[in-house]
Amino acid sequence: MKIKPSLKKKISRTLLYFLLILTTFLVSLPILWMISFVFKPAYEQFKTPPTLLIENLTLENFEKAIKFAALRYLFNSFLVSSVTTLLVIGVSIFSAYCFSRLNFFGKKKLFYMIIFTQAFPLASIIIPLYKLMYSLHLLDTYFSLIIAYLTFTVPTAVWLLRGFILRIPMDLEYAALLDGCDRINAFIRILLPVIKPGIIAAAVYTFIITWQEFMFALTFISTPDLKTLPVGILIFVGQLGLVDWGGLMASSLIVCIPVFLLFLILQKQLVSALTGAFKA
């Protein structure tokens, strides 16, 4: 018996939908589990067998998270990430311009250097950076983190922004130059407004990766009040390894919310920034 092509198509589409839903479900299951867990009261959290369903919804885990960890660390994280982002964009937009619009001696070699530093193993320089912060009396300050974060954010931001500028035709700038505008003005007045979406994408990307930074934050900050979120919420892991899972998962979710929101809202721009930087 021969299967009709239209029926065959229907079967394959059903199969595709099934695969898509199953894959999405499996990938999101850990996050779904976390969400269901933090809305459960303690006695339900320990019930066996564990389930995704919540019988008595409660906010007690969030109350704990906010009381012990979230607010103070949230402020620290916001401060460090936003200042870093501003600095990074300020520095890298000019470099990105050079690599996409100018011809100068050593351009290629310098760009190799930027890419090379992008892939740099940060663990290999953490000891000298620690010593540097120590001798500058910067340990245990926001500055130590902001400076350290420039190491891995500037090269990436230069790379992303360069990709954006390259995709803008030069016509507008040429026209401005013919009208007697100089290069720097053409850059600031003409080019910058056009690449605004690119700048936003690079800024959000920088914010997201500094928001989640862990190794430097763990090394440079020891005063509890100055810790950033990813390290600060370790408060729920006791010295003997006893973990307050409700508090830890609730505060983990709080750390995720801003990043998830930024990601979902700006998904298109971020994806095109990342993949665009790799286009020939």
Partner 1 sequence: MTLLFTSKLLDNDSFIASLFLAPTIILIIVLFFYPISQTLWLSFTKVTKFEKNPQFIGFDNYIRVFSTYEFYTIIMNSAIWTSIVVAFQFLIGLFTALLLAQDLKLRSIARGLIILPWAMPGAIAGYLWKFLLDSTIGPFNWFLISLGLMREPHSWLGSPSTALFSVILSAIWKGFPFSTLMYLAAIQSIPKELLDAADVDGAGFLNKLRFIIIPYIMPIIRITLLLTTIWTFNYFDLIWVMTKGGPRISSHIFPTYIYQVAFEWSEFGTASVYAFIDFIILCVFSILYIVQLKKGGIF
Q: Interface residues for partner 1 in 135-164 (CB under 8 A)? A: 147-148, 150-151, 154-155, 158
Asked if residue 206 binds partner 1 (CB under 8 A), the reply is: no
**Does position 214 bind partner 1 by CB under 8 A?**
yes
Interface residues for partner 1 in 84-143 (CB under 8 A)? Answer: 91-92, 94-95, 97-98, 102-105, 107-108, 110-117, 119-132
Does residue number 188 form part of the binding site for partner 1 (CB under 8 A)? no
Give, as ranges, the residues between 248 and 267 that touch partner 1 (CB under 8 A): 248-249, 252, 255-256, 259-260, 263-264, 267
Nearest to partner 1 of 9, 196 (CB atom): 9
**Among the residue ranges 1-9, 61-69, 168-176, 208-216, the one whose residues contact partner 1 (CB under 8 A):** 208-216
Q: Which long-range contacts (CB under 8 A, 24 or more apart) does 186-189 make?
A: 187/97, 187/101
Kindly report the three-state secondary structure assignment for every residue of 112-148: HHHHHHHCCCHHHCHHHHHHHHHHCCCCCCHHHHHHH
CB-nearer residue toward partner 1: 14 or 59: 14
Q: How far is the CB of 11 from partner 1 (least distance, A)?
A: 13
Rule CB under 8 A: choose which of 188, 215, 224, 238 binds partner 1: 215
- Can you tell me the distance from the alpha carbon of 268 to that of 6, in angstroms, rounded to the nearest whole number? 34
What separation in angstroms does the CA of 218 have from each of 70, 101, 105?
17, 40, 40
User: Does position 182 bind partner 1 by CB under 8 A?
Assistant: yes
Region 1-40 residues binding partner 1, contact defined as CB under 8 A: 13, 16-17, 19-21, 23-24, 27-28, 30-31, 33-34, 37
Q: Select from 230, 235, 227, 231 the least CA-distant residue to 253.
A: 230
| Closest listed residue to residue 146, CA positions, set 225, 72, 228 | 228
In the bound complex, what is the minimum distance in angstroms from residue 14's beta carbon to partner 1?
11
As a whole number of angstroms, the distance between CA 49 and CA 14 comes to: 33
168 binds partner 1 (CB under 8 A): no
Least gap, CB of 118 to partner 1 (angstroms):
8
Residues of span 227-246 touching partner 1 by CB under 8 A = 230-231, 233, 243, 245
Nearer to partner 1, 22 or 71 (CB): 22
Interface of this chain with partner 1, residues 51 to 90, rule: CB under 8 A:
none
